């Protein structure tokens, strides 16, 4: 058996967030694994000091302090940001903002870049009543829908609810000898106007904006790429304990979410206890939601293979059983072809000379979300897996 590769975490000591019943299940599963090992393998584990890991009496999670500088998790400043409504709200670079500003009118520059205020009742969007959406003139992020626009009698376009709260940044403003709340575009930082607590139900808010900060796009008009939500895709990977698989993928820029669950079995709605019984055929799998404009499926395949031992069959290190198998569940024929070609290339490389890749490929069956105590395990319990790129 080839030496285990470093990467995805293995089962470690349980935390206070896991119920006693759950810990009993995990302990019983470990005892069954140990009983199933051949004597020579058990002796090897004993010699290597791995029994504490196997039974969960030691911390077997990935140690971030052991990783190299280029394997540390991406910082918050380098990670793309997305709103719940599916838009990329990653701050634009200063260079990109400067390029956009060159295309704006003097009034638009004064408002968005210098926080100027246009004269009341003079903006071209004050009396705009057509159905559509209002986007920022700097970067095109959708901000408000026409259905939330109302006549505030103030002389500026007014709205009571943004498309997504994450698209607006609120900032304290003490200029002009008064306390107000300035609102900025989340993607570009452009000044939009102010928000007040004198609006209509149901929010009671009045988002008072400058027409010069907005661009109106009527319904039925093809939206420019910068005003469209992200075209998200989904990938599924199984490579040992899903605690670590999930943690690794959540550190990848362009991955919006990673969720632990079960796939590839013969029963519906399996529980952790069911899967550990080795009677359902499910693998511990992770659902990865990603932005292909930021990270490609091929990139995810590379992350997957770099962070687990694809030559091990029905196990990862001391975690033994068919639920720990290496498998890729593809969401499309294109993903399947990419995965097959990727494995073919790997198998022919020097890295896998004399070793057979055991990773299976299957069109994705139904994904069953795992119990809540398995979700974001490392975030809840501490520690993190280093990412080998």
Q: How many residues does the chain have?
A: 389
Structure tokens at 285: 């799998």
| Residue 299 and residue 291 in contact, taking contact as beta carbons nearer than 8 Å | no
Sheet holding 214-218, edge to edge: 142-145, 132-136, 214-218
Active site residue 136: no
Sheet holding 168-173, edge to edge: 149-150, 158-159, 206-209, 191-196, 180-185, 168-173
149-150/142-145 β-pairing: unpaired
Per DSSP, the residues of 368-384 read EEPPGGGTTHHHHH---
Active site residue 208: yes
Catalytic pick among 62, 122, 136, 208: 208
| Residue 330 and residue 364 in contact, taking contact as beta carbons nearer than 8 Å | yes
24 contacts: CB under 8 Å, gap ≥ 6: none
| Residue 257 and residue 233 in contact, taking contact as beta carbons nearer than 8 Å | no
Q: What are phi and psi of 219, to 5 degrees?
A: -55, 145
Catalytic pick among 62, 122, 136, 241: 241
Question: Cα separation of 312 and 320, whole Å?
Answer: 10
Question: Cα separation of 203 and 152, whole Å?
Answer: 14
> Which residues carry out catalysis?
208, 241
């Amino acid at each position: 058996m080839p030496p285990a590769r470093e990467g995805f975490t293995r089962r470690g000591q349980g935390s206070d967030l896991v119920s006693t019943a759950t810990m009993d299940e995990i302990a019983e599963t470990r005892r069954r694994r140990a009983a199933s090992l051949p004597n020579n393998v058990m002796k090897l584990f004993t010699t290597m000091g791995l029994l504490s890991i196997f039974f969960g009496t030691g911390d077997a999670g990935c140690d971030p302090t052991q990783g190299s500088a280029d394997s540390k998790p991406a910082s918050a400043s380098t990670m793309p940001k997305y709103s719940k409504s599916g838009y990329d709200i990653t701050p634009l670079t200063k260079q990109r903002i400067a390029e956009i500003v060159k295309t704006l009118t003097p009034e638009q520059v004064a408002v968005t870049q210098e926080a100027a205020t246009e004269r009341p009742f003079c903006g071209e969007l004050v009396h705009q009543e057509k159905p559509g959406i209002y986007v920022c003139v700097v970067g095109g992020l959708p901000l408000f829908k026409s259905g939330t626009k109302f006549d505030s009698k103030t002389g500026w376009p007014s709205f009571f609810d943004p498309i997504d709260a994450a698209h607006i940044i609120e900032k304290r403003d003490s200029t002009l000898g008064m306390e107000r709340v300035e609102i900025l575009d989340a993607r570009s930082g452009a000044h939009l106007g102010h928000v007040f607590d004198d609006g209509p139900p149901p929010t009671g808010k009045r988002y008072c904006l400058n027409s010069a900060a907005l661009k109106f796009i009527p319904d039925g008009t093809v939206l420019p790429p910068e005003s469209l939500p992200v075209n998200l895709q989904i990938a599924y990977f199984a490579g040992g304990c899903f605690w670590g698989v999930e943690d690794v993928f959540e550190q990848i820029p362009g991955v919006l979410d990673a969720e632990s669950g079960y796939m590839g079995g013969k029963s519906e709605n399996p529980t952790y206890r069911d899967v550990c019984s080795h009677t359902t055929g499910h693998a511990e799998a992770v659902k990865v939601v990603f932005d292909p404009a930021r990270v490609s499926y091929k990139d995810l395949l590379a992350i997957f293979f770099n962070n687990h031992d694809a030559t091990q069959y029905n196990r990862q290190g001391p975690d033994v059983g068919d639920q720990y198998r290496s498998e890729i569940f593809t969401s499309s024929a294109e993903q399947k072809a990419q995965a097959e070609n990727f494995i073919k290339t790997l198998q022919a490389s020097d890295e896998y000379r004399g070793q057979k890749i055991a990773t299976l490929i299957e069109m994705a069956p139904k994904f069953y979300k795992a119990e809540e105590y398995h979700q974001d395990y490392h975030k809840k319990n501490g520690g993190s897996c280093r990412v080998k790129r």
